[in-house]
Copies of this chain bind each other. A is one copy, B any other.
Amino acid sequence: MTSDPESLSKARLRVWLKLLKAVNGIEGEIRRNLRDRHRTTLPRFDVMSALARFPDGLKMSDLSSFLKVSNGNVTGIVDKLTEEELVQRVPVPGDKRAQIARLTSKGKAEFEKLAGHHEGWIDTLLDALSMEDLETLSDTLERVLSQSTEKERADA
């Protein structure tokens, strides 16, 4: 049987590499589509996607923690989206340090369009997965995620 700890560890490593390959392949395809068909990038899409979930906008720091990227990172991306009038910065009454980033109506319209295409691309790329596959995969990922959540608590 292939169930000693040694082979389990090797099997986990092989699956990890395959997982990475699949995710990188799909992500690459999304990036290509965003670039070639919509003249934008994944980080910009991610920021717009986050802001679309919060119609009243998000403080810069909340946006960066939601996206799990650094503060300085969102500063740069929001700068550019703001230049293009897809996002606007709104001062927070009573706190001159903070700013709220929110989609403009132009930004909302642009995001709706992107989001529809994005869902279609994913649908095609994951075409091989049935509803049953998705449920199994979702459960599996859930267990992996709760593992990393434990790790985060340990680090904090």
Interface residues of A (CB under 8 A from B): 2-3, 8-16, 18-29, 68, 118-120, 122-123, 125-129, 131, 133-134, 136-138, 140-148, 151
Contacts and interface: CB of A to CB of B under 8 A. Distances in A.
A12 B129 contact: yes
Given A9-B119, A23-B20, A15 B144 contact: no
A44 B2 CA distance: 32
Given A15-B137, A136-B140, A25 B119 contact: no
A16 B137 CA distance: 10
A19 to B, nearest CB: 6
A134 B21 contact: no
A25 B131 contact: no
A40 to B, nearest CB: 18
Contacts of A140: 129, 133, 136-137
Contacts of A145: 18, 21-22, 25
